[in-house]
Amino acid sequence: MSHEAQTCAGLIREANAIAVLTGAGISTNAGIPDFRGPKGLYITKKYDPDTVFDINAFYRDPEPFYAFARDFIELEKTIKPTFTHSFLSKLEESGKLKGNITQNIDALHQKAGSKNVLEMHGSFWTSRCVDCGKMYTYEKLKDHLITSPNVPCCDCQGTIKPDIVFFGENVKYFEESIQLAASVDLFFVIGTSCVVFPAAMIPSYVTGKIVVVNLSEVRLNASNVSLAVQDDIDRFFKEVAGYLEKENNEK
Ligand code: CNA
């Protein structure tokens, strides 16, 4: 077992309050490709994120986004939270983890049982008409995409857009995320390249210790990084959980 996992378990044990910032890397083991990882969309080019998730591109032509959305609803039926989503949910249940700030739109934190989830980039679970603002549920959107090849339209003929934050739109829960990050003594940065702003700024508000877990190197604008682990997230947290369990059994 690795020294880093043991150190991380020690930091969790000593911490009074923990929070996390997660990115697409926490969900790759669930089968959802990230953007910038080795099998990410910028590499495979299955979709071009700069077009699919750009708000002006969406207003000009929502078709490329809806090609992605059709694939997403198929994937969503089968995806399950990863080991690390569940690990974080249990840590929240224990009272130590105060909240999860996520850039993800897959709702896997909630599926794992996490309660306090700040979805900075929104989610698919609600949609709105871009013209009249009428709200639609995920079920409604899904029904439309399954039964019609057309872009979903409102009764007023406006285009329906999921409440995902596109490039060029304001993020959600920014103030709440900063407050959470500044309020804890241990902060995890998990599975994010930390290049998408303003989410990438969140670690700079942390005054406690920071632990980074990511396959590739992450450059943070923060001097308080106690541990930077370059490893598969689930492999690493399984080891951490092993150490925590061992310590509990020895008590
Ligand atoms: P990113 O820029 O694609 O970075 C992901 C990081 O995770 C990369 O540095 C990878 O090396 C790393 N990584 C991937 N798999 C693993 C693994 N198993 N173990 C360890 N590290 C791993 O994604 P960010 O989240 O930083 O960028 C923010 C964008 C991506 C947000 O706007 C998201 O909405 C968007 N996104 C979300 C999802 C999702 O909801 N699951 C999927 C794809 C993109």
- For ligand 1, say whether the CB of 35 is within 6 Å of any of its atoms: yes
- For ligand 1, say whether the CB of 81 is within 6 Å of any of its atoms: no
Mutational pocket test of ligand 1: of 35, 41, 84, 174, the residue with most ligand atoms within 8 Å of the beta carbon: 35
**Closest of 69, 46, 48, 40 to residue 163, by C-alpha:** 69
pLDDT of residue 224: 94
Which residue, by CA, sits nearest to atom 34 of ligand 1? 104
Which atom of ligand 1 is least distant from the CA of 23? 25
Give residue 96 CA to ligand 1 midpoint distance, Å.
25
The residue whose two tokens read 């690390």 is 84
- For ligand 1, say whether the CB of 23 is within 6 Å of any of its atoms: yes
- On whether the pTM is more than 0.85, the answer is yes
Sign of CA dihedral 38, 43, 46, 50: positive
pLDDT of residue 64: 93
Model confidence over 93-135: pLDDT tens digits? 999 999 999 999 999 999 999 999 999 999 989 999 999 999 9
pLDDT of residue 236: 98
Contacts of 89 (CB under 8 A, 6+ apart): 81, 109, 112, 113, 114
- For ligand 1, say whether the CB of 220 is within 6 Å of any of its atoms: no
Cα–Cα distance measured from residue 167 to residue 48, given in angstroms and rounded to the nearest whole number: 12
- The answer to whether residues 189 and 220 touch, using CB atoms and an 8 Å cutoff, is yes
Which residues have a catalytic role annotated? 121
pLDDT of residue 158: 96
Which regions in the chain score pLDDT beneath 70?
A: 1, 41-44, 251
Distances (CA, A) of 210 to 21, 46, 225: 11, 34, 4
Phi (first) and psi of residue 10, to 5 degrees: -65, -45
Which residue, by CA, sits nearest to atom 18 of ligand 1? 232
- For ligand 1, say whether the CB of 29 is within 6 Å of any of its atoms: yes
Give residue 7 CA to ligand 1 midpoint distance, Å.
24
Sign of CA dihedral 132, 136, 140, 141: positive
